[in-house]
Amino acid sequence: GEDVEQSLFLSVREGDSSVINCTYTDSSSTYLYWYKQEPGAGLQLLTYIFSNMDMKQDQRLTVLLNKKDKHLSLRIADTQTGDSAIYFCAESRPAGNKLTFGGGTRVLVKP
Amino acid sequence: EAGVTQSPTHLIKTRGQQATLRCSPISGHTSVYWYQQALGLGLQFLLWYDEGEERNRGNFPPRFSGRQFPNYSSELNVNALELEDSALYLCASSLGDTQYFGPGTRLTVL
């Protein structure tokens, strides 16, 4: 199957950590991505992880990949009001080059 | 370095008309992708062009078509517009695996 699933909504206080979760079904996925979409805008690439990695850290962002459970997470440290947006996880596969996206998680950061 | 650009920003058409959307990739990128983001349907893959050829197509009817020009820019054409074609159309480009997106064209069909 091609399902990529995410929870719909996350509310977090400014300064706390946010954790956004994603599950996918296709074990042939090569790369897994996190994109951010602000209102009325396109998708901004935040980070990505290759399928043979377990963890990747990039400044305030930490990506964890559990291949056995096909579970991906994005942790945002010290969440700021500017982090309020919709976050999409996506997987890519060797053939066809298309990205399959989750439905997006809307993150609301409260001051 | 300039990112992916798309034009127009907004497009309003009536049912049955044709729409043409344009995309310029990041300099040096040879692949262009089109996605549809419709309300309630999420982000759906439409088309992939590489080196001027269509390489892959999503589950959309033939009235969605496009092409890639020698300078790697791309057009998406939607014929016989239907109300449900109203969506944000996103273009992305890549040189390898990672896709970088433009700001999108919002198409409204009345």
Map tokens 């982000």 to a residue: B43
* Nearest CA distance, B87 vs chain A (angstrom): 12
Q: How far apart are CA A77 and CA B22, in angstroms?
A: 37
pLDDT category, B59, cuts 50, 70, 90?
very high
- B97 contacts B2 by C-beta, under 8 angstroms: no
Q: What's the pLDDT tens digit per position in A5-52? A: 999 999 999 999 999 999 998 878 889 999 999 998 899 999 999 988
Find the mean pLDDT for residues A95-99. 80
- Predicted pLDDT at A2: 58
State whether B48 and A41 contact (CB < 8 Å): no
Nearest to A38 by CA among B30, B20, B101, B18: B101
Question: What pLDDT score was predicted for residue A96?
Answer: 67
Confidence of residue B55 (pLDDT cuts 50, 70, 90): very high
Across the A:B interface, residue pairs with CB atoms under 8 Å apart total: 56
Residues across chain B: 110
Measured between alpha carbons, how far is B89 from B79 in angstroms, rounded to an integer?
15
Residue A35, both tokens = 């994109």
Chain segment A40-89, per-residue pLDDT in tens? 889 999 999 998 889 999 999 999 999 999 999 999 999 999 999 999 99
- SS3 sequence of B56-94: EECCCCCCEEEEECCCCCEEEEECCCCHHHCEEEEEEEE
Which residues lie below 8 Å from residue B78, measured CB to CB, with a gap of 6+? Answer: B18, B19, B21, B63, B64, B85, B107
DSSP letter assigned to residue B103: -
In a 3-state reduction of DSSP, which class is residue A80? coil
Give dist(CA A34, CA A45) in Å, integer. Answer: 6
- Strand partners for A34: A47, A89
pLDDT, mean over chain B: 96
Q: Indicate if the pLDDT at residue B17 is higher than 60.
A: yes
Among A5, A30, A37, A43, most B C-beta atoms within 10 A, so best to mutate, is: A43
With b meaning 16 or more CB within 10 Å and e meaning fewer, what string describes A54-67? Answer: eeeeeeeebbbbee
Chain B residues touching residue A31 (CB < 8 angstroms):
97-98
Scanning every residue of chain B, which has its alpha carbon at the shortest distance from the alpha carbon of A46? Answer: B100
Share of chain B above pLDDT 70, in %: 99
Instruction: Return the pLDDT at A52.
Output: 87
